Amino acid sequence: MRKALAASLLLGATALPMLQGCLPVVAASAVSGGALATLDRRSLGTQTDDETVEWKASSRVGEKFSDNVHLNFTSYNRRVLVTGEVPSEEVKGEIERIVAGIPQVQGVYNELAVAPVTSFSTRSNDSYITTRVKSRFVDSGKFSAVHVKVVTEASVVYLLGLVTQREADSAIQVARTTSDVKKVVNLLEIISDAKARELDVRMPEQRPPAPPASGGG
C-alpha cells in the first residue's frame, strides 16, 4: 500500500511537463501534496524553506538576467542546485553569488553551462528522462523513491536526497542504467541507517470508516 501510494504521487508529479513557455527563468520546485510531504525525510520547516528558496532565487535572478539564459533552481535540505545555460562565466558566477546570498541557503551546487539555451525538445526529453528514472526507482523496490529527488538537464541526471549509503548506491545504479542518460551527478547526502529509521514517517494504519450516527428523535 505504501509503495503504491509513493508510486502514484511520484509519477503524477514527474508526469507534469516542465514547460518554460517564454519565461527565461523557471524555478524547478517540487510538486508536493500533503501525503508526499509527510513521507519526506526533511522536516516540514525545511521543506517550506526549500520552496521559499526556489521562489526567491527565481525572482532575484530574474530581476537581473532575462536574456539568453535558461535557469532551474532546485533546493533540497537548504542546498541549491542551479542548472541551465548562461552566456558567460561572469553571468554564471553572479548568479551563484545571488543564490548564495539568500538567507536560508546553506550551499550552492553551480552546474550552469556556458552554452546556448537548450531547445524545447531537449527540455521535453529531460522531463521524460526524469519520469523514467523515478519510475525505475519504484520498480526496483530497493528503496523509497520519495527520498531521492531527480533533476535532469541536457540528459545529465542530478540526484539529491537524504539517504543511506545502500540507498544511494541503488539510486545511482538505476539512474546510470536508464536509457538516454549521459551522466549521473551524485549530490546525495548520506545518513546512517539509524538516522534514516528515525526520520522515516510511518503511514497511519487505515481504519474502516465509522458507522453513521443514528438519528435522534
Architecture of the domain defined by 2-9+26-114:
2-Layer Sandwich (3.30)
Report the 10 Å Cβ neighbour count for 155: 13
Report the 10 Å Cβ neighbour count for 68: 13
Residue 141 is placed in which grid cell?
523496490
The pLDDT assigned to 83 comes to 98
pLDDT one digit per residue (tens) for the chain, 217 residues: 555 555 555 555 444 444 443 344 444 444 445 666 778 999 999 999 999 999 999 999 999 998 999 999 999 999 999 999 999 999 999 999 999 999 999 999 999 999 999 999 999 999 999 999 999 999 999 999 999 999 999 999 999 999 999 999 999 999 999 999 999 999 999 999 999 999 996 544 445 555 555 554 4
CA-to-CA dists, residue 182 to 70, 156, 159, 179, 185, angstroms: 20, 6, 14, 9, 10
Assign a CATH topology to domain 120-199.
Histidine-containing Protein; Chain: A; (3.30.1340)
Q: In the chain, what are the domain boundaries?
A: 2-9+26-114, 120-199
